[in-house]
Amino acid sequence: MELNLGTAEEPLPIYISASLTPEEENQYFDLLSEYEDLFTWSYKEMSGLNPKVAVHRLSIKKGVSPKKAAPVAFSSRVGTRN
């Protein structure tokens, strides 16, 4: 379940379990709202974070089209000995 700690103009979404009771949901929302300033909402706000941890790049050669890999068949006997 998604809750917004921000505003409609600047949303700050958080996700909580959909199995919470309405009372638990309100308690979580109140707690998270109280400590909102402790959360970061983008990687730019995380001082000391190496960008290599948060940024992923694919090595793609120009002019080469992507290929779809063949599906891999899994045995229904997972966890059994042969």
Confidence of residue 82 (pLDDT cuts 50, 70, 90): low
- pLDDT tens per residue across span 6-16: 889 988 888 88
pLDDT of 21 above 90: yes
Q: Are 13 and 41 in contact (CB under 8 A)?
A: no
CA pair distance 57, 54, nearest whole angstrom: 10
Task: Indicate the pTM of the whole model.
Answer: 0.48
- Sequence ranges of the domains in the chain: 2-54
In the three-class reduction of DSSP (H, G, I as helix; E, B as strand; rest coil), residue 52 is classed as helix
pLDDT of residue 6: 85
Cross-strand partners of 2: 15
Res. 78 pLDDT band, cuts 50 70 90: low
Q: How far is residue 30's CA from residue 24's CA, in Å, rounded to a whole number? A: 10
What's the pLDDT tens digit per position in 54-74? 777 788 888 888 888 888 887
